[in-house]
Chains A and B, each alone.
Chain A
Amino acid sequence: MMAEVLRRTWAMTWKDVTVELRARERVTAMLFFAALVLFIFNFALGPDRERLAEVAPGLLWLAFLFTGMLGLGRSFQAERENECFEELLLTPGDRESIYFGKLAGNVLFMCMAEAMILPLFGILYNLDIWRHIPALALIAFLGTVGFSTIGTLLAAMTAHLRAREVMLPLLLLPLTVPIVLGSVRATDAILGGGGLADVSHWVKLLVGFDVVFLVACPLAFEFVLEE
């Protein structure tokens, strides 16, 4: 039973990854957008290195989240444009596998973008991030999972709306405030030289958020996709 769900989830993820490998639309757009965001922040805040270092964790996460949002907005685009939502629903088995498959794809694409943003960020802002990569990667992963759990659900929901481009960020950002706060605070402490032990309460919050919505969102997904 469990193996069956995993197999279906994998099929769904693999479909999205194959589409992406052939079209290279989403990840390319995300990367280019992320680079631009890092540039624009620099122009907006001026070249003062100390000031930039102070706000760097927030900037990094804004780049992550904006880029992630761009990816999430496109996660049901292929189905919508080709009008094959019904076919998606006809796939055998529980709707949960559709959700988890889409979620895995979204997390994967967002993590890929983050893996490129992080070094670029270190270089452009002259920050010594290299020693902290494992801790930063953990925080980034936990934050990305939390952001994508709600994001994938809301992307499916807003895909049918007239004002989908506007509604996704409007609904997603207020709901993910704990993720934003937790990730930014933890990143700040880690860049300041602290270890994971110093930010254990934020890590616990991120894990708690991820677990709650990993349980709640697949259940809610059934109601969203219903026709």
Chain B
Amino acid sequence: MDHPSRLGRALGALAGLVLFVGVYLGLVLAPPDAVQGQVQRIMYLHVPSIVTAYLAFTVTCVASVLYLWKRDLAYDAVAVSSAEIGVVLTGVTLATGCIWGKATWGVWWTWDARLTLTAILFTIYAGYLMLRAFAEEPQAAARYGAVLAILGFLDIPMNHMAVQWWRTLHQPSSILRPGGPSMDPVMLGTLVVNLAGLVLLYTYLLLKRIRLERARHRAVALRLQRGRRG
């Protein structure tokens, strides 16, 4: 267990360093937005959070498929750990979105397409965590959780379409659109550094959380063993 923890510590330190540079770039070096002014800086947290959250939910879905296939609780540990971090990151996205909305649109919340979609995502995966908490035994929690994670993932594209047709107010994506990014290179660089920092932080937290989950599995197994003997 010594080796993985050393790797984990190195990852944590690297994540901290990159995020520190990211904060410096975002708050100091990057120019204020021509139209939105200083408020736009919140984007350097807002956009990387949601991108990393999607990454987290993708990992959960893949790990869930692997669990149902191989029936190894190690995969389930990955799934639940990733989902937990994903929910936190989705929460950060919603909070920063609200703050930005208040400064830009004058309201905390609007039923804008992408904001709504993020809120739906949040409720689906918060439900996933609750479902697991209510299941009696780890195997049942893992099976139900895996099924729900896969259904939730299938649901995302359809939610996306439905909400998109329903309303679109959000400013169009500036990077992923035909014709290449229309962004100042310093701003784009800041965004990329922050994204890298959050992905590193996610990986670090994921490894930590998986170790915790594995330890919990061992504790449950030990308790069962002792119960049988006594």
Binding site for B on A (CB under 8 A): 150, 153, 157-158, 160-163, 167, 170-171, 173-175, 177-178, 181-182, 185, 201-202, 205, 208-209, 212-213, 216-217, 220, 223-224, 226
Contacts and interface: CB of A to CB of B under 8 A. Distances in A.
A195 to B, nearest CB: 18
Contacts of A213: 151, 154
Contacts of B221: none
A174 B123 contact: yes
Given A177-B159, A181-B163, A205-B165, 12 more contacts: A150-B151, A153-B151, A160-B136, A160-B140, A170-B127, A173-B123, A181-B165, A205-B158, A205-B161, A212-B154, A217-B151, A223-B68
A201 B136 contact: no
B135 interface: yes
Given A177-B159, A181-B163, A205-B161, A171 B127 contact: yes
Contacts, number: 79
B134 A177 contact: no
Interface of B: 68, 120, 123-124, 127, 130-131, 134-136, 140, 143-144, 146-148, 150-152, 154-155, 158-159, 161-163, 165-166
B147 A182 contact: no
B162 A177 contact: yes
29 contacts: A153-B147, A160-B136, A160-B140, A161-B131, A163-B134, A167-B130, A170-B127, A170-B130, A171-B148, A174-B120, A174-B127, A175-B124, A177-B162, A177-B163, A178-B155, A178-B158, A181-B162, A181-B166, A182-B162, A201-B165, A205-B161, A205-B165, A213-B151, A220-B147, A220-B150, A223-B68, A223-B143, A223-B146, A224-B144
A150 B152 CA distance: 11
A175 B131 CA distance: 14
B120 to A, nearest CB: 5
Q: Is the interface of B mostly helix, strand, loop or mixed?
A: helix
A177 B159 CA distance: 7
Contacts of A182: 162
B134 A205 contact: no
Contacts of A205: 158, 161-162, 165
A162 B63 CA distance: 26
Please list the 5 inter-chain residue pairs (A to B) with the smallest Cβ-Cβ separation, ordered nearest first.
Answer: A174-B123, A178-B162, A178-B158, A181-B162, A174-B124
Contacts of B158: 178, 205, 208-209, 212
A64 B83 CA distance: 32
A161 B134 contact: yes
B136 to A, nearest CB: 7
A202 B159 CA distance: 12
A73 to B, nearest CB: 15
B155 A175 contact: yes
Nearest to A162: B134
